[in-house]
Amino acid sequence: MEEIYKIIAATVGIFGIGKIIILIFSERRKKLYDEYKFAKEFLNDISSKVKMHSFAIEKGYKALAGSSRISADEVAYILTLKNPVDFLQDYVYSRIFLNHISRDSSNKVTFKKKYESEKTRKLFKIWYMAVYAITAYIAISPAVFAQALKLNQQEVLLYLLFSFPIFGFYAVYFINLLLKLKTAEDFVRNQKTSIETIIVPTEDENS
């Protein structure tokens, strides 16, 4: 009888987890549809002959990027690239390493001055990887050295409560910097414009 209860409980648990997974995918699908709908309407609006206020255009581009830190000029340029969805996500993610040259010059994305040199970027990547490895190792060190230090289970958990949150945070932070720098390199190397038109607020519209 006890085993039957366990089976029922396990079944209910499985259905509960399954329902949560379905809800997550449903929400994700709805979000993607909403983003598609907004993008379609906004791009149709700016491509039409109806004059839009620069405020609406700026807000629309920021909404497409999903970030208030990205300017309309930056988003408009990225929309001219092949595979703009991927490039826009990558640009938002790795922007701390990148600099957008305005359309008055070469109109492209380059590295910020600090990261222009390939040798410098390589040194940064080595530094990020080294700090990540050290901090990640320190984060789990109580468990690694438990036997050598003759720590009991409670002592290991106590030390982990200190080391894991602090050094684990820095490990995640530096591996994230490494991934952002690699993403930035891919962006700069692979950016290729298509025939799309750049539409951004002009100085006349803002005046």
Distance CA 74, CA 107 (A): 9
pTM of the complete model beyond 0.95? no
Q: How far apart are CA 68 and CA 62, in angstroms?
A: 5
pLDDT for the residue numbered 58: 86
Structure tokens that stand for 149 in this block: 């230090």
The backbone torsions φ and ψ at residue 98, rounded to the nearest 5 degrees and listed phi first, read: -115, 160
Task: Classify residue 184 by burial, with Cβ atoms within 10 Å: 0-12, 13-18, 19+.
Answer: buried
Report whether pLDDT(170) > 90. Answer: yes
Question: What tokens were used for 193?
Answer: 């414009």
Alpha-carbon separation of residue 182 from 18, 107, 172, 201 (angstroms): 36, 22, 15, 32
Q: What confidence tier does 67 reach under pLDDT thresholds 50, 70, 90?
A: confident
Tens-digit pLDDT profile for residues 80-129: 888 888 999 999 999 999 998 765 555 588 999 999 999 999 999 999 99
Mean pLDDT, the chain, rounded, equals 80
pLDDT above 70 coverage of the chain, percent: 74
